[in-house]
């Protein structure tokens, strides 16, 4: 009886299209930035266990060689 009810239920499938990164192209960074970014994710994981930091936005783009990249969490919306 339950198996018939389960089989009669239509599954809903959600597909989230991949979000386009706010950063396009290439950047030149010092290698310590990689270690800094790993530490940033590590420290954030202490307070937000399932959160993953992604690039949220790039500030000051096109205003010289220096730019600012803002990371945001996909779970708690912290930046
Ligand atoms: Zn978070």
pLDDT of 33 reads 92
> Does residue 21 belong to any structural domain of this protein?
no
Residue 5 has phi, psi (to 5 degrees) of -65, -40
Question: Domain tally for the chain?
Answer: 1
Is position 50 within any domain? yes
Please write the tens of the pLDDT for every residue from 38-56. 999 999 999 999 999 999 9
Q: What DSSP assignment string belongs to 19-42?
A: PPPS--S-----THHHHHHHHHHH
As a whole number of angstroms, the distance between CA 73 and CA 70 comes to: 10
33 Cα: distance to centroid of ligand 1 (angstroms): 20
- Interval between CA 36 and ligand 1 midpoint (Å): 17
Residue 11 falls inside a structural domain: no
Cα 42 to ligand 1 centroid, rounded to whole Å? 11
Range of the domain at 54: 30-79
pLDDT of residue 25: 87
Ligand 1 centroid to residue 54 C-alpha, Å: 10
Host H or E run for residue 57: strand 53-59
Q: What is the pLDDT of residue 61?
A: 78
Taking the model in full, what pTM does it have? 0.66
Residue 73 Cα to ligand 1 middle (Å): 5
């Amino acid at each position: 009886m339950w198996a018939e009810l389960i089989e009669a239920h239509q599954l809903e499938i959600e597909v989230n299209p991949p979000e386009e990164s706010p950063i396009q192209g290439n950047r030149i960074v010092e290698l310590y930035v990689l270690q800094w970014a790993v530490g940033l994710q590590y420290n954030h994981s202490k307070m937000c266990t399932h959160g993953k930091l992604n690039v949220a936005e790039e500030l000051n783009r096109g205003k010289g060689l220096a730019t600012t990249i803002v990371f945001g969490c996909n779970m708690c919306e912290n930046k």
